Amino acid sequence: MGRSASAGSAPVPNSNLSINNDTTVSFDVSYFLSNQLAFNIFGGIPASADLQGEESLSGLFLGQTDYGPVILSLQYHVLTGSNFSPYFGAGVGRILFLDEKDRALTDFDVEDTWAPAVQAGFRWRIHNNWSANFDVRYAPFEADITGNLGPAPVQAKVEVDPTIVSIGVAYRF
């Protein structure tokens, strides 16, 4: 969901931006410091996003980019001796924007940014070291967008409140 835009240093009234949802493959690796505390790094194959104008910018396809978070978290695992182990985590993410493509804006660019991140999930031990895994992460961020609309320089901000849902298989060494 968006925020605001300016063209040629003048604010564009009633402007808003949106970014579409996408699905991709992700991975995460945990290093246990103790039975209950673990460092976790999360990443994946970058998703694709279209940035669209809304309200007074309706119908304006600003540009396209691939993006993805790399999130480092500290997790707390509650029931480590059980087959069912819920966990909670908090950390920081770096949101990377790659391969920006011009559409209505030329020289389209989205700046990488930082985001706080929280997560909750559980592991269900299937057999020996194998587990099924489910978690939800939330990492809200705001990114700066620049480009040109004809001869006018454009600056905008987009606010994104992503909820990242992961289902997977885990192996504990």
Mean pLDDT over 92-103 rounds to: 96
Mean pLDDT over 105-126 rounds to: 96
- pLDDT tens string 50-83: 999 889 888 889 999 999 999 999 999 998 788 9
Could you tell me the end-to-end alpha-carbon distance of the chain, in angstroms, rounded to an integer? 41
Whether the predicted model's global pTM rises above the 0.85 cut: yes
- Non-local (6+) Cβ contacts of 70 within 8 A are 41, 42, 43, 93, 94, 96
Mean pLDDT over 14-22 rounds to: 86
pLDDT band at 118; cut points 50, 70, 90: very high
